[in-house]
């Protein structure tokens, strides 16, 4: 199962009851974060998931409302006795941006491992159990959407294991895709596992106009988190000018991509009561939710 949470749902500037953009998910004790706006660590403290086990932080882009809380979070993770490396993922320029911010946090008790994204090279990386794919978006600076995939192996076939005379003590290793050597023979997971089962997919898109490849990129997501900086369709010209989306545009993408659920986020400071506009989205895609700080859900394997 995968636990997911929106730590902050605001865009541009924090409000007294709405922190800036950040998302976190938790799998088997390990955590992946997307964006880290101002006040993120305050919200994370309120959530109670801790800081030490944040293994991966992905950045959609390098505007301040998506990264201004990052250095403080690094220091807090260090003070939480983290010593394991932390992976950082983001558009080109990631290492330069992070090193500039770290002028005020030069010493950390753990290593930072950088993964700078370049569509011409790759569109997917795997870190631990997280399969991370990305798509270039349309914003005022380079920006990407992310899909987080948690794959699930096929069912263990006991009869196959018995027929191959594999000792029961080795079955758990094969279930974890580890090789087993017994009596000089090598056994692999594909020899005892059935077809791969449906995993869990969470997609995250913020700070962009709708782009052509986005519906296919988020298709069949169990959860699609998408920005809705403006709720009212009358703000379309503003959305086009500043490269953002409306509630209705996010809902149309969710419907076209056949996702299971849509969470709207990244609201304009002028949009103080986004829930009043929920019907704008639900009239297009029924299973739409207006996100709020620390909304959580546990996604289960089917």
Known catalytic residues are 65
Question: Which residue in this structure is represented by tokens 């996010």?
Answer: 250
Residues 176 and 157 sit within 8 Å (Cβ to Cβ): no
Distance of CA 70 to the CA centre of its chain: 16
Alpha-carbon gap, residue 253 to 150, rounded angstroms: 22
Residues 151 and 191 sit within 8 Å (Cβ to Cβ): no
Phi/psi for 197 (5° steps) reads -95, 165
What are the residue ranges of helices labelled H in 212-277?
A: 214-218, 236-242, 247-256
> Angle 119-121-123 (CA atoms, 0-180°, nearest 5)?
50
Residues 196 and 152 sit within 8 Å (Cβ to Cβ): yes
Burial 68-91 (b: 16+ CB within 10 A, else e): bbbbbbbbbbbeeebeeebbbbbb
Tell me the torsion sign for CA atoms 225, 228, 231, 233.
negative
Residues with Cβ within 8 Å of 44's Cβ and at least 6 positions away in sequence, in order, are 7, 22, 24, 51, 73
Residues 18 and 293 sit within 8 Å (Cβ to Cβ): yes
Residues 157 and 194 sit within 8 Å (Cβ to Cβ): yes
Residues with Cβ within 8 Å of 103's Cβ and at least 6 positions away in sequence, in order, are none
């Amino acid at each position: 199962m995968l636990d997911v949470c929106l730590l902050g749902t605001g865009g541009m500037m924090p409000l007294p009851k709405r922190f800036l953009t950040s998302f976190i998910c938790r799998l088997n004790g390990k955590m992946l974060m997307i964006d880290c706006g101002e006040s993120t660590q305050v919200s994370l403290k309120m959530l109670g998931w801790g800081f030490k086990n944040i293994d991966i932080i992905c950045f959609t882009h390098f505007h301040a409302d998506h990264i201004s809380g990052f250095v403080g979070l690094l220091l807090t993770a260090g003070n939480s006795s983290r010593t394991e490396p932390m992976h950082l993922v983001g558009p080109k320029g990631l290492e330069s941006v992070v090193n500039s911010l770290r002028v005020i946090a030069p010493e950390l008790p753990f290593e930072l491992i950088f993964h700078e994204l370049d569509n011409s090279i790759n569109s997917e990386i795997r870190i631990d159990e997280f399969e991370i794919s990305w798509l270039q978006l349309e914003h005022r600076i380079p920006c990407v959407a992310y899909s987080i995939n948690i794959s699930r192996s096929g069912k263990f076939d006991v009869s196959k294991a018995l027929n191959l005379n594999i000792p029961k003590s080795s079955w758990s290793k094969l279930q974890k895709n580890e090789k087993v050597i017994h009596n000089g023979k090598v056994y692999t997971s594909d020899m005892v596992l059935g077809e791969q089962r449906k995993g869990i997919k969470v997609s995250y898109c913020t700070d962009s106009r709708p782009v052509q490849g986005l519906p296919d990129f988020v298709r069949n997501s169990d959860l699609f988190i998408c920005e809705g900086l403006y709720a009212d369709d009358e703000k379309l010209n503003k959305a086009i000018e500043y490269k953002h989306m409306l509630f209705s545009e996010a809902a149309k993408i969710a419907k076209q991509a056949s996702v299971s659920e849509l969470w709207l986020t990244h609201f304009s400071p002028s949009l103080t009561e986004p829930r009043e506009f929920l019907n704008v989205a639900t009239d297009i895609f029924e299973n739409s939710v207006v996100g709020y700080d620390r909304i959580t859900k546990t996604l289960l394997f089917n």
